[in-house]
Amino acid sequence: MYTIASSSRLNRYKKARSQIGLLLLGLFTFAGMWRGASAQDLHFSQYFSAPLLTNPANTGFIPDANYRFGIDYRNQWTTIPVPYRTMSAFGDAQLLRNQLTYGWVGVGAVVLQDVAGSGDLTSTKIYGSIAYHQLLGLGSLLSAGFNVGYARKSVNLSKLTFDDQWNGKFFDASLPSGEYSAITQTSISYVDLQAGLNYAYFPNDHVYVNLGFSAQHLNTPRETFYSGDNRIPRRYIGFVNASIQLSNMVIINPNGYYSFQSGAHELVAGGYLQVNLSGNGAQQLLGGVYYRVGDALIPMVGYQLNNLRLMFSYDATMSALGSNIQHNGAYEVSLVYQGLYQNTNYRHEEKKFRCPSF
């Protein structure tokens, strides 16, 4: 529990909050430039609950903890005949904290699966991730990470019909189609590579700012069911997070996320509040709202009990697509647990990077 700060410290906090406010104002202004855009790769609205998918430099990047585990589930467009379902699970941990001077290594893994469309187009990806984190003095941290993964995609052709199978009244799967001869395989696999950087700035126990950049599909792997040489274009992701303790009862977390891939853009910006329900922070109520530019408004609620955090969000579609799906967007659920090693030989207090907490 933090004590009441002196007036001079409060002035510094207000100045820091003002600077971050200007940063976020600029982010939202920038958002207006990218209306009507969308991304191509799989993603979660709660990108901060899937840290290893956002940036491999997030591996072992855990304020006030040494390890964590998380799961995410997303169900999109439930009114269409076959909704899109995306699931992921991850785990990461800090190593060599007692052997490296003001640094440590993060290792982790993430599994992602997505099932889409009437043809059961299924994507399964498994990544192993490693990162190095180095404290820069007492108020900042620099991280670099890399991951390598194995991806597999498959489709069930027996569940698909094509335009040349239209009999004038309906699509008839018994009719021959030229598409079948063009498709040379119903499953493919490839190796996928990602890399990223993070920088965190924490001038005191009440203000924390983190920004990062990552590049995905560095090796532009081949991905096609046909005989061509279709390559996955590189995807670039940038994000900025802030955490500001306004009082012993409230912490505000504004953040934004931007993604670019092959001419497609996605920008999500917003924030959420943590409200202390128990005095010592063991129980917290979370709530906030995000906006995906040109697409959806995303309200979010959550609850934290000790080291376990549950969050629920809903993408309320606001684009022209909304009328075609009866304005049903996507719901998303995440569950994240983080903890500390029992081995007291780890000099955790000496090496932790400060992030506001109750």
Q: How do residues 155-210 score in pLDDT, each as one tens digit?
A: 887 777 777 778 878 877 777 777 777 788 889 999 999 999 999 999 998 999 99
Q: How confident is the model at residue 272 (pLDDT cuts 50, 70, 90)?
A: very high
Residues 235-239: what's their mean pLDDT? Answer: 96
Residue 109 burial by Cβ neighbours in a 10 Å radius (0-12, 13-18, 19+): middle
SS3 string, 316-342, reads: EECCHHHHHHCCCCEEEEEEEEEECCC
Element housing 277 (H / E): none
**Confidence at residue 4, expressed as pLDDT on a 0 to 100 scale:** 35
Question: Contact at 8 Å (CB) between 249 and 213?
Answer: no
Q: Is the pLDDT of residue 11 over 70?
A: no
Identity of the amino acid at 213: F
Q: What is the pLDDT of residues 117-154, one digit of tens each?
A: 777 789 999 999 999 999 998 889 999 999 999 999 99
**Residue 75 backbone phi and psi in degrees, to 5:** -125, 120
**Confidence at residue 246, expressed as pLDDT on a 0 to 100 scale:** 95
Going by their DSSP bridges, the two strands 121-135 and 283-292 should be labelled as unpaired
Angle subtended at Cα 337 by Cα 57 and Cα 203, rounded to the nearest 5 degrees: 50
Dist CA 325 CA 75 (whole Å): 14
Dist CA 216 CA 239 (whole Å): 14
Dist CA 288 CA 59 (whole Å): 25
| Number of residues written out for the chain | 358
Identity of the amino acid at 187: S
Q: CA distances (Å), 274 to each of 2, 154, 174, 207, 303, in order?
A: 15, 41, 57, 14, 9
Residue range 7-104+133-141+196-222+230-351 in CATH 2.40.160 = yes
**Confidence at residue 164, expressed as pLDDT on a 0 to 100 scale:** 77
> Model pTM?
0.80
Residues 53-82: what's their mean pLDDT? Answer: 86
Every domain of the chain and the residues it spans:
7-104+133-141+196-222+230-351
Residue 117 backbone zone (phi > 0: left; psi -120 to 50: alpha; other: beta): left
Residue with tokens 């597999």: 152
Going by their DSSP bridges, the two strands 330-339 and 103-116 should be labelled as unpaired
